[in-house]
Amino acid sequence: EDLLEELTTDENGVSGVTDVTITRENVTLPAGSEEIVIPEGVKLEIAEAASLKIPEGVVVSLSEDVVIENRGTIENSGHVDCGEGFIKGNPLENSETGTSDDLVILKKEDQTTYYTTFENALEKAEEGESIIFVEDTVLNEDIVIPQNVTLEIPENVELTIPQEVVLKNNGTINNN
């Protein structure tokens, strides 16, 4: 069954469904598609024993408020653009994620969420959470790190702050 149809139609043919759980192993997105857009507001869950494969050449774009709850495996040989949506749970196994230069992780205790822009992660950050850069990043606009939020810059990752950009730190910055 086509995953896109599955995202918007339930087993009774009713469209507009917003919560979809993949429970089968090896669900593969159609390789012939150049871009697959997951509709606004959809929650896609990959169950613990399930897997979703994104073939090479396929771009998956998450619309606003799309949540992918990954308890299983996402094998990404294509490209994922989180946009205004996000991926929670297990990390993607794979190659490219995101359209921007900065992939960031928002982490609190055992909950992990992936964003493709620092600005989106910062906007969603709550007290006690850490924003962790995965790739070298250049800040393009003024940023304020909120109180009780930690910005983690791991070893071998560089955060560049151009002279015209202001980074105000009300939280914590760990530069390893």
pLDDT digits (tens, 9 = 90+) for 24-57: 666 666 665 567 777 777 777 787 777 777 777 7
pLDDT digits (tens, 9 = 90+) for 68-98: 887 788 777 777 777 667 777 776 665 444 4
Structural element, H or E, at residue 169:
strand 167-169
Nearest one of 147, 148, 140 to 164, comparing CA atoms: 140
Question: How many other C-beta atoms lie within 10 A of the C-beta of residue 115?
Answer: 27
pLDDT digits (tens, 9 = 90+) for 131-168: 888 778 888 899 999 999 999 998 888 899 999 999 99
Considering the entire predicted model, what is its pTM? 0.56
